[in-house]
Amino acid sequence: MINMKILQNRDSFLKTQVLIIGGGVTGTGLARDLGLRGISSILVEKQDINAGASGGNHGLLHSGARYAASDSEAAAECREEGELLKKLAPQCIEDTGGLFVAVKGDNENYTADFPGMCEKSGIKADFIDIAEVLEMEPLLSPDIIAAYQVSDASIDPFMLSLDNISHARDLGAVLMRYTKLESFNIENKKIKTALVRNTVTGQETIIEPEQVVSAAGAWAGIVAGLAGIKLDLVCSMGTLLVTQSRLAKKVINRLRKASDADILVPGGTVSILGTTSVRIDDPDKCRPTIPETDYIIEQGAAMIPALETTQYIRAYSGVRPLTGSSSGDDRNVSRGFALIDHAKDRVENLTTISGGKLTTFRLMAEKTADLICRKMGISKTCTTRTVPLPGSKEGRWTAPGLAPRMWMTGHKSDDIILCECEMVSKGIIDNIIKSCRQQGEVPTLKTVGIRSRIGKGPCQGGFCSARIAAHMYDREEFSGKKGLNELREFLNERWRGKHPVLWGLPLEQAELQEALHCGFFGLEL
Ligand SMILES: Cc1cc2nc3c(=O)[nH]c(=O)nc-3n(C[C@H](O)[C@H](O)[C@H](O)COP(=O)(O)OP(=O)(O)OC[C@H]3O[C@@H](n4cnc5c(N)ncnc54)[C@H](O)[C@@H]3O)c2cc1C
């Protein structure tokens, strides 16, 4: 067992059975899987939970139908894992169901072959009458020519990762946020130690692991490079847009060969439209652009014309690591996952788990933990297939609609609302601060943002961020210029996503907000 006090000392030295790099859904799922097998782990994440693709995706729990034509193995994995997650982690899932719809001009052969292709991967796709589908989803285009019903759902990726890491910690795992893997010391074909650095304080820690797993997503190539290994990995950026209101009850997919802006996923009070697939060299340089936003809207409007006139709250991007390069369309690169034992590269205790889907994270963690057990000579089997994922205090407030529901069903008279768009109260912020402190962590505005709905509504933090910063000064979490610096950082991050979707009235409102921030707080954003 690792003493948390050690983590606060400068230049600490830690030992663990498994060092995991990356706090996305794969890394957090792996820490839980290992914990359930009684294996200790330290997870280092250079930012906060879900800083990579796990926080920049569609939130679609795939039925597998999307991959039925291109990759029947990935399609079957999605089907099986989607069904399991609905049973094991229901708190993270809204079981919306899904539709695949073709519009005039779409390939009719593809449409006719679709149910047969789904069947090959065991996926149920039921034909549905056009009149019925238009009644079900009135905003669909009247130009729909065919529709099928599938078992897609929407999933909250933040709750999923926070619940996984919370359970892993209960089982003895250690999470080191804002801690970046800097280098490996390799001796006799093994990583003997890893040097990690806290990106806020600069504190260095040496970790001596028996095994190292890179679950670093699109950064897996960089991590492998630190061990002198070249990975064949393509970084593909996808951009998504969040609508101000929910436009559909079900997930709506375009019934055609996977292409851009094909999917609208409802989640709580909003819908998410996307995505694109653009190759980039540096995963740290992913951000949505105005031309991309316009293109997504134009493509999506063929399925749902209202997408051309609706208001958007923000845009965001994520990067997929696709293993196995391709010279053409990156959508042709497999969306399955790659588990690489780097013993073949003469680094015996390094493993990379990369690619795959949010939907298949549990399976990816299972296969990785199985390999780690084999390498360590441990005969413990996986239990995540049957043990439900417990809900956690950390993940609870990410659910859209929960804060207003709790508020309406009863609140203390002095519990005022700090974020009006999402109705997040002072009491909820205090809960999050308390739970961070209990975990030995320093709460920041960003930490509160990841663990709640603040900054996610139409004002994008324009008003609530200042109120919450002020509340954190009252609670003595901030002093001096700390709160102002955090406010600037928080608003700048929201601005990245807001500016590509601004026109008309929201643009005027954004200009007013900027003037308020500059005038009242002296912030130059
Ligand atoms: C645009 C888009 C849409 C998607 N939509 C869906 C969807 O709807 N459904 C679905 O099932 N899947 C979807 N996916 C895929 C899914 O998001 C990913 O498969 C999944 O999130 C990958 O999780 P991960 O933990 O492997 O990687 P990531 O979430 O990228 O995590 C890697 C982590 O490693 C950290 N890291 C990197 N280097 C270091 C270092 N040196 N030290 C410490 N930490 C480090 C990063 O900060 C990051 O947090 C989508 C992906 C994209 C990009």
- B/e letters for 26-36, b = 16+ CB within 10 Å, e = fewer, are bbbbbbbbbbb
Average pLDDT over residues 362-386: 98
179-216: per-residue pLDDT in tens? 999 999 999 999 999 999 999 999 999 999 999 999 99
Q: Please state the atom number of ligand 1 nearest to the C-alpha of residue 236.
A: 53
Is residue 5 scored above 60 in pLDDT? Answer: no
Q: Is the CB of 273 under 6 A from ligand 1?
A: no
The answer to whether 330 touches 322, Cβ cutoff 8 Å, is yes
Q: What is the pLDDT of residue 205?
A: 97
Q: Please state the atom number of ligand 1 nearest to the C-alpha of residue 337.
A: 19
Q: Is the CB of 197 under 6 A from ligand 1?
A: no
Top-confidence residue, 320 or 522: 320
Is residue 1 scored above 80 in pLDDT? Answer: no
Q: What is the pLDDT of residue 316?
A: 96
- CA–CA distance, 504 with 492 (Å, rounded to integer): 21
Using the mean position of ligand 1's atoms as its centre, give its distance from the Cα of residue 309 in Å. 31
Q: Is the CB of 498 under 6 A from ligand 1?
A: no
Q: Is the CB of 178 under 6 A from ligand 1?
A: no
Q: If you take atom 2 of ligand 1, which residue's CA is the nearest one?
A: 57
Q: Is the CB of 297 under 6 A from ligand 1?
A: no
Instruction: Indicate the SS3 state at residue 10.
Output: coil
Percent of the chain topping pLDDT 70: 95
Task: Give 441-477 as a DSSP string.
Answer: ----HHHHHHTS-TT-STTTTTTHHHHHHHHHHHTTS
Q: Is the CB of 27 under 6 A from ligand 1?
A: yes
* Block residue for tokens 């909820």: 428
Q: Is the CB of 67 under 6 A from ligand 1?
A: no
Q: Is the CB of 357 under 6 A from ligand 1?
A: yes
161, 221, 218, 499 alpha-carbon torsion, rounded to 10°: 130
Phi-psi region of 22 (alpha: psi -120 to 50; beta: other; left: phi over 0): left
**Residues paired with 419 in a beta bridge:** 424
Q: Please state the atom number of ligand 1 nearest to the C-alpha of residue 215.
A: 26
* Mutation to probe ligand 1, out of 159, 212, 357 (largest number of atoms < 8 A from CB): 357
Q: Is the CB of 53 under 6 A from ligand 1?
A: yes
Q: How far is residue 66 from each of residues 114, 164, 391, measured CA to CA in Å?
A: 10, 26, 29
Give the helix, strand, coil percentages of the chain, each rounded to 5.
40, 25, 35
Q: Is the CB of 45 under 6 A from ligand 1?
A: yes
Distance of CA 318 to the CA centre of its chain: 9
**Residues paired with 241 in a beta bridge:** 273, 315
58-115: per-residue pLDDT in tens? 999 999 999 999 999 999 999 999 999 999 999 999 999 999 999 999 999 999 999 9
Percent of the chain topping pLDDT 90: 82
* Phi/psi of residue 131, nearest 5 degrees: -60, -40
The answer to whether 280 touches 258, Cβ cutoff 8 Å, is no
* Mutation to probe ligand 1, out of 162, 214, 219 (largest number of atoms < 8 A from CB): 219
Q: Please state the atom number of ligand 1 nearest to the C-alpha of residue 319.
A: 53
Using the mean position of ligand 1's atoms as its centre, give its distance from the Cα of residue 50 in Å. 7
- CA–CA distance, 416 with 12 (Å, rounded to integer): 42
